[in-house]
């Protein structure tokens, strides 16, 4: 029997090695919630919530106070009946990252019960995934230097943050691509552009032959009509991130034909909506990438198992744990440069 | 390790207790394929294919000859990496029911490996489901008699086959509902109506207060435009069955807003597409029922576990094993009148 008898919540703060700047936002640290589910036979399952106020509207200050409510809802349930627990957690719209952590902790406990790692419970489609690493917004020189460093380290896919100044962004991408010939780029505007700026950016990248494989979230999250215009006028694949949090968001994006790609993050969707988005997007021939918020190695482990298990992600952006100061590595995966291998 | 080392194919014929008549089709027997996967540690996984030429275009005569090809594709793969095997089997469009049987056999073997029944591998949402039982096409008197018998036995949901004669069908439903006050009905036209007949039928049922909870497949499979017209003009929930075989069919039905309900059958979709359809339909607020072809207890077991595990089906039509002569019950479930309980 795998009945849940207790659940521990613990907050942990991780500082960024250096402040991480994206369009109109800077992060110095990420305070995350660690969830430990305890089953009656003593088995434990762990999950991590890395909240995002900007994307999810959720506040870390509220998380500890949610513990009694959540435990009250799921206590006595068996992790073998995980869809029951998933469904209950779908109600927790005030804290999508907590939903993700609890849902993952359930799978983690089930995995111990079954003697099969989570990535195989989810289908074991791949035995590893490859991640990019991200260059935050800085001066042109800083960004080129950082990109060059990543390229030398072996990151063949580099994510570049833009969205504050169109002309400057084009110059930065030109310089970065000169310095890292052969690399591929995900460019993320984090809602910073207008429709016209986004189209101009995409066309300029294409005209210069810069190998941008995904152009993420050019517009504000709610502007789906605008996103469709960008998609139909961009030679680069356009991805929704902030616009694609729930399964319902993605169904609308599919119906409206508004995107080429969706960036799934467990912190936005939890396991339940992420699985639904996987099925919908693959059916609709929408490309998939997987990203992260400020997860530590514990939280990134969740996405490594999800991505390896489902095997549907063309690109993985699972680098937050590489950007945070963390005393002890606690992921159920190992890293070989850009390879993340679930264990 | 759960590597596949061998796979056995065996044909078995089951006779219907009495000929089963639906619109423009009668079945005397169902010849099914039994699949046994053998893992290197001796664990076995079983599945059953109950083919349908009318719905899937597949021929039982071809099934034995597919064995070597399929084994060649999946030999050496580990059932823990089931998404890899599912993906390979997605290619087998000449035999959707064989795809279903092999995919289920993989889950069955994985279930033994994990010590967890398949319905819990799939989420364990419910501990049982309830099935209807079907009244095939016959004279009005025969159909009333059969419905009365089922109602007395405890079947509170009765499926009624129509689609050969609109006026006669309305009279039959009136008589059946008089004889089984309190029952609910699924009415299945199996592609037998025109658009106008379907709308008339639905309105007449509604006007007479006959409790038809689902009106299945009024039109030919390919007439999605017509189906949308019926849906928008029917007071009864309209379901696609023959029109909804793959995940791509269902995405189109959702985009076209053509249905209220989808009837999932593992024999049309396999496990992989059935899971995708579950996620898409629940997201789009499309109702779900699960049905069957001519499965024996072995094949119905697959759907009992699928339906219990996912917990998304408002109605279950899993009665074929009750209509076939079968020497030995081999399902991993038990029955209590209309309750099917996975074990």
Interface of A with B in 246-275 (CB under 8 A): 247-248, 250-251, 254-255, 275
Task: Please state, for a pLDDT cut of 90, what percent of chain B lies above it.
Answer: 99
Please give the average per-residue pLDDT across A13-41, as a whole number: 96
Task: Give A124's pLDDT tier (boundaries 50, 70, 90).
Answer: very high
- Mean pLDDT, chain A, integer: 97
Question: Of the candidates B67, B94, B115, which is a domain's last residue?
Answer: B115
The number of beta carbons lying within 10 Å of the beta carbon of residue B17 is 11
Burial of A125 (0-12, 13-18, 19+ CB in 10 A): buried
Give residue B101's pLDDT.
98
Give residue B218's pLDDT.
98
Catalytic residue numbers of B, as ranges: 161, 265
A175 and A315 together in one domain: yes
- Across the interface, whether the CB atoms of B81 and A122 are under 8 A apart is answered no
Give residue A30's pLDDT.
97
B68 and B125 together in one domain: no
Is pLDDT at A146 greater than 80 in this prediction? yes
B125 near A CB under 8 A: yes
Three-class DSSP labels, A95-143: CHHHHHHHHHHHHHHHHHHHCCCHHHHCCCCCCCEEECEEECCCCHHHH
For residue A207, the distance in angstroms to the closest alpha carbon of chain B comes to 35
Give residue A175's pLDDT.
98
B35 and B126 together in one domain: no
Picking from A59, A55, A56, the residue whose alpha carbon sits closest to that of residue A33 is: A59
The number of beta carbons lying within 10 Å of the beta carbon of residue B18 is 12
Question: Of the candidates A115, A150, A170, which is a domain's last residue?
Answer: A115
Please give the average per-residue pLDDT across B131-143, as a whole number: 98
A111 and A127 together in one domain: no
Q: Which residue of B has its CA nearest to A275?
A: B279
Please give the average per-residue pLDDT across A249-271, as a whole number: 98
CA A321-A326-A329 angle, to 5 degrees, is 75
Interface of A with B in 182-221 (CB under 8 A): none
Give residue B188's pLDDT.
98
B61 and B184 together in one domain: no
B234 and B337 together in one domain: yes
Dump pLDDT digits (tens) for B219-263: 999 999 999 999 999 999 999 999 999 999 999 999 999 999 999
B82 and B219 together in one domain: no
The number of domains in chain B is 2
Q: What is the CATH number of the domain that holds B258?
A: 3.20.20.120
Is pLDDT at A135 greater than 80 in this prediction? yes
For residue A276, the distance in angstroms to the closest alpha carbon of chain B comes to 5
The Cα–Cα gap between B99 and A224 comes to 38
Question: Of the candidates A97, A115, A133, which is a domain's last residue?
Answer: A115
- Give which of B1, B251, B258, B342 to mutate to test A binding, by max A Cβ within 10 Å: B251
For residue A26, the distance in angstroms to the closest alpha carbon of chain B comes to 34
Q: Which two tokens stand for residue A294?
A: 């400020």
A1 near B CB under 8 A: no
The number of beta carbons lying within 10 Å of the beta carbon of residue A300 is 27
Residues A218, A193 contacting (CB under 8 angstroms): yes
Give residue B177's pLDDT.
98
The Cα–Cα gap between B98 and B208 comes to 42
Q: Which residue of A has its CA nearest to B278?
A: A276
- Give which of B80, B256, B312 to mutate to test A binding, by max A Cβ within 10 Å: B80
For residue A61, the distance in angstroms to the closest alpha carbon of chain B comes to 31
Give residue B157's pLDDT.
98
Dump pLDDT digits (tens) for A176-218: 999 999 999 999 999 999 999 999 999 999 999 999 999 999 9
Domain span at B226: 121-342
- Across the interface, whether the CB atoms of A124 and B247 are under 8 A apart is answered no
Is pLDDT at A48 greater than 90 in this prediction? yes
Q: Which two tokens stand for residue A138?
A: 């800085």
The number of beta carbons lying within 10 Å of the beta carbon of residue A214 is 26
Q: What is the CATH number of the domain that holds A75?
A: 3.30.390.10
A268 and A156 together in one domain: yes
Give residue B312's pLDDT.
98
Dump pLDDT digits (tens) for B2-55: 999 999 999 999 999 999 999 989 999 999 999 999 999 999 999 999 999 999
Give residue A1's pLDDT.
74
B110 and B198 together in one domain: no
Q: CA torsion A46→A51→A57→A61, rounded to 10°?
A: 90
Task: Give A37's pLDDT tier (boundaries 50, 70, 90).
Answer: very high
Instruction: Give this complex's ipTM.
Output: 0.91
Among A113, A114, A280, select the one facing B279 at the smallest CB separation: A280
Q: Which residue of A has its CA nearest to B111?
A: A114
A149 and A40 together in one domain: no
Give residue B164's pLDDT.
96
DSSP code at position A61: G
Residues B239, B214 contacting (CB under 8 angstroms): yes
A176 and A66 together in one domain: no
- Mean pLDDT, chain B, integer: 97
A77 and A139 together in one domain: no
A161 is catalytic: yes
Give residue B1's pLDDT.
74
CB contacts < 8 A, A to B, total 93
């Amino acid at each position: 029997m795998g009945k849940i008898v207790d659940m521990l919540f613990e907050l942990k703060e991780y500082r960024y090695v250096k402040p991480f700047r994206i369009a109109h936002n800077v992060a110095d640290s990420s305070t995350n919630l660690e969830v430990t589910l305890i089953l009656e036979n003593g088995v434990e399952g762990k999950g991590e919530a890395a909240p995002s106020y900007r994307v999810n509207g959720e506040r870390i200050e509220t998380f500890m106070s949610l513990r009694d409510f959540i435990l009250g809802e799921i206590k006595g349930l068996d992790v073998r009946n995980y869809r029951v627990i998933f469904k209950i957690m779908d109600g927790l719209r005030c804290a999508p990252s907590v939903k993700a952590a609890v849902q993952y902790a359930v799978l983690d406990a089930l995995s111990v019960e079954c003697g099969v790692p989570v990535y195989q419970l989810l289908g074991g489609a791949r035995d590893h995934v490859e991640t990019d690493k991200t260059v935050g917004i800085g001066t042109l020189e800083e960004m080129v230097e950082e990109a060059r460093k990543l390229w030398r380290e072996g990151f063949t896919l580099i994510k570049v943050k833009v969205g504050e100044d169109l002309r400057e962004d084009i110059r930065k991408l030109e310089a970065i691509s000169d310095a890292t010939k052969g690399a591929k780029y995900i460019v993320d505007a984090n809602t910073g552009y207008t429709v016209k700026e986004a189209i101009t950016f995409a066309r300029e990248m294409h005209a210069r032959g810069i190998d941008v494989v995904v152009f993420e979230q050019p517009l504000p999250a709610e502007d789906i009509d605008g996103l469709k215009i960008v998609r139909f006028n961009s030679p680069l694949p356009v991805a929704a991130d902030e616009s694609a949090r729930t399964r319902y968001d993605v169904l609308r994006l599919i119906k409206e034909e508004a995107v080429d790609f969706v960036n799934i993050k467990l912190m936005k969707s939890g396991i339940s909506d992420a699985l639904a988005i996987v099925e919908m997007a693959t059916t609709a021939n929408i490309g998939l990438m997987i990203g992260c918020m400020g997860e530590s190695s514990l939280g990134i482990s969740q996405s490594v198992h999800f991505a390896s298990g489902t095997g549907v992600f063309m690109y993985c952006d699972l680098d937050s744990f590489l950007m945070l100061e963390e005393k002890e590595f606690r992921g159920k995966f190992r890293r070989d440069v850009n390879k993340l291998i679930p264990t």
